[in-house]
Amino acid sequence: MVKVADLYIRVSTDEQADKGYSQRDQEERLRKYCEVNGITIRMVIYEDHSAKTFKRPEWTELLTNLRKKRGQVNLILFTKWDRFSRNAGDAYQMISSLRHLGVEPQAVEQPLDLTVPENKMMLAFYLAAPEVENDRRALNVFNGMRRAKKEGRWMATAPIGYVNKTSETGKKYIAPKEVVSGIIKWAFEELSRGELNTDQVWKLAKRKGLSCGRNHFRVIIRNPVYCGKIFIPKHKDEDSMLVDGQHEPLISKALFYKVQDVLDGRKRVSKRKVVVDDNIVLRGHIICPKCGRMLTGSASKGRTNYYHYYHCSSSCGVRYKANEVNKTMIEEIRKYSWNLPELKLYKEVIISMFKSKTYLEGRDKEKLKAQLERANDRLKKARDLLLLGDIDSDDYRIIKSECTEIIDRSEAKLNDTMTTEDSQLHLWEKAFVNLADLDKLYLNSASAQKRRIVGSMFPENLTFEENNFRTNRVNEAIQIISLIDSRLKRKKNGQIQKNLDLTMGVVPHGLEPWTP
């Protein structure tokens, strides 16, 4: 009987198939074997897929062909058994399936007569050896990567906001990516305020140039890599842990934990604000002069463009062109811009008052210190109980995990408090520079920031009428600055005033009139 065979030639990757010599070498040896043994070759199958499973495109096609043309082939030849499979269990099942089709698999360099029972032991060895080799290699790679993670190295493609780099010595690392890293930092800061929800921040970040989907963004804001930490998952007896990374963090640990508190609902946040079109940024701040309702805003489509309006939703018919109202707002803000020298006195008063009113912050700091001390004491007691045998290792791991998280959060917030105190003077300087150029700050801000400026300057809603704004009151700080400024100007004009109308805050002694 003439034997007919299909030759199966396999390598693991496309690169080996294109650039290596293995495929051509396997084919040469298989053809020589067929020539010596008088075997007819029906076709040659080339595969560039892993042998961990039989879910390989060319092998699947070969099986389909064997079922359709049953009886035309009685052999499948390959060089070694590891070319056939690297999984013993799958290999035995596939051998059985091939025999039902009347086909015998055979390795020309490791020939076995499978009708002899003892040869099945050799087959088990040939199949198990590559599987063991694969498992050992995978385990070595896993342990090596876990060790590198413990040392603070990021062992994957750089997350969004970072880029993979290689140093001159060949060491691989991740570094902040220009523009995108700034957007990520902005997103964390915006989320920490609690004014916008996650979807709103994601949409704004996309407008700024961030390229990722909604779900990916939710992963980003939960990833501790951005505050300089590497997460190592639990493995066997080792608990999951956070270690300090070797890369440069984009945000502080305090900011990261603040965002987690907001996302988990542990921090009370202000009322969510709505993101609006920059053309109708004053929507929600203007009252109708006729009926007292809040004016809304919308756009009307013209022939070639959209035209925006503020209008009343009632039948009173109040309607203003949005661009004119927005320009008037800029002029209104410009009224409250002062030169830096004029703000010097006010700045000194504010800084003095701020330094005298740090009691609450000091109390919060003491709470954090107490919380940190309690967590450390609890961890120490748990360690002592473990050594005495009063608790088992599982209970100790649970206590350690809880205490470690509390310690990390408390230390981060405490360090952030220290940093905040040191940078207060710089923040005040920046605040007064912004006051000096309040109109420019408003013009260059995004819509959400513009609404914050208007809301802080005019706590009560404004009324727009006859091309001007009317408001019941402005911010108290602006009132005081304006009052000081007007008094100083009157003195310069020669109008001497012995006493300012500002109260000095002195509490009277006893009854009126004063009695000792």
Task: Tell me the per-residue pLDDT of 237-286, one tens digit each, with 9 for 90 and over.
Answer: 888 888 999 999 999 999 999 999 888 877 665 554 555 677 888 888 88
Q: How far is it, in rounded angstroms, from Cα 304 to Cα 9? A: 65
Mean of pLDDT over the chain: 82
Flag whether pLDDT at 192 surpasses 50: yes
Question: What distances in angstroms separate CA 92 from CA 44, 76, 113, 118, 297, one per listed residue?
Answer: 23, 15, 15, 15, 73
Residue 63, pLDDT > 50, answer yes
Q: Residue 188 — pLDDT band, cuts 50, 70, 90?
A: very high
Using the predicted structure, report yes or no on whether residue 496 has a pLDDT greater than 80. no
Task: Quote the radius of gyration of the chain (alpha carbons, Å).
Answer: 38
Kindly give, in sequence order, each residue whose CB lies less than 8 Å from that of residue 155, ignoring residues fewer than 6 positions away: 145, 148, 149
Q: Is the pLDDT of residue 512 over 60?
A: no
pLDDT tens digit sequence for 17-46: 555 568 888 999 999 999 999 999 999 999
The arithmetic mean of pLDDT across residues 66-85, rounded, is 91
* pLDDT tens-place string over residues 141-154: 888 888 999 999 99
User: pTM for the whole thing?
Assistant: 0.48
Of the pLDDT bands very low, low, confident and very high (cuts 50, 70, 90), residue 299 is confident
- Provide mean pLDDT across the span 294-316: 86
In the numeric block, the tokens 């502080």 are attached to: 252
pLDDT of residue 313: 84
Kindly report the CATH class assigned to 4-135. alpha beta
**pLDDT at residue 207 is higher than 50:** yes
Q: What are phi and psi of 235, to 5 degrees?
A: -150, 120
Q: Residue 220 — pLDDT band, cuts 50, 70, 90?
A: very high
Of 204, 232, 220, 202, nearest to 161 by C-alpha is 220
Res 498 pLDDT > 80? no
Between CA 420 and CA 424 the distance in angstroms is 6
When pLDDT is averaged across residues 273-302 and rounded to a whole number, the result is 80
Does residue 332 surpass a pLDDT of 60?
Answer: yes
CA-CA distance, 332 to 327, in Å (whole number)? 9
User: Over 60: is that where the pLDDT of 507 sits?
Assistant: no
Mean pLDDT of 312-317: 85
Look at residue 17 in the predicted model and tell me its pLDDT.
56
Mean per-residue pLDDT, 507-512: 48
| Long-range contacts of residues 436-439, Cβ cutoff 8 Å, at least 24 apart | 436/337, 436/338, 436/339, 436/340, 436/343, 437/337, 438/333, 438/334, 438/336, 438/337, 439/330, 439/333, 439/334, 439/337
Question: What pLDDT does residue 499 have?
Answer: 45
3-state secondary structure of 156: coil
Confidence of residue 501 (pLDDT cuts 50, 70, 90): very low
**pLDDT (average), residues 104-122:** 87
Going across the sheet that includes 468-470, the strands are: 286-287, 462-465, 468-470
**C-alpha pair distances (Å), 64 with each of 58, 67, 68, 183:** 10, 5, 6, 53
Beta strands in 82-153 (DSSP E): 104-107
Mean pLDDT of 464-492: 70
Coil, strand or helix at 9:
strand
Q: Mean pLDDT check: name the lowest of 126-135, 165-174, 498-507.
A: 498-507
Measured CA to CA, the distance from residue 298 to residue 56 in angstroms comes to 58
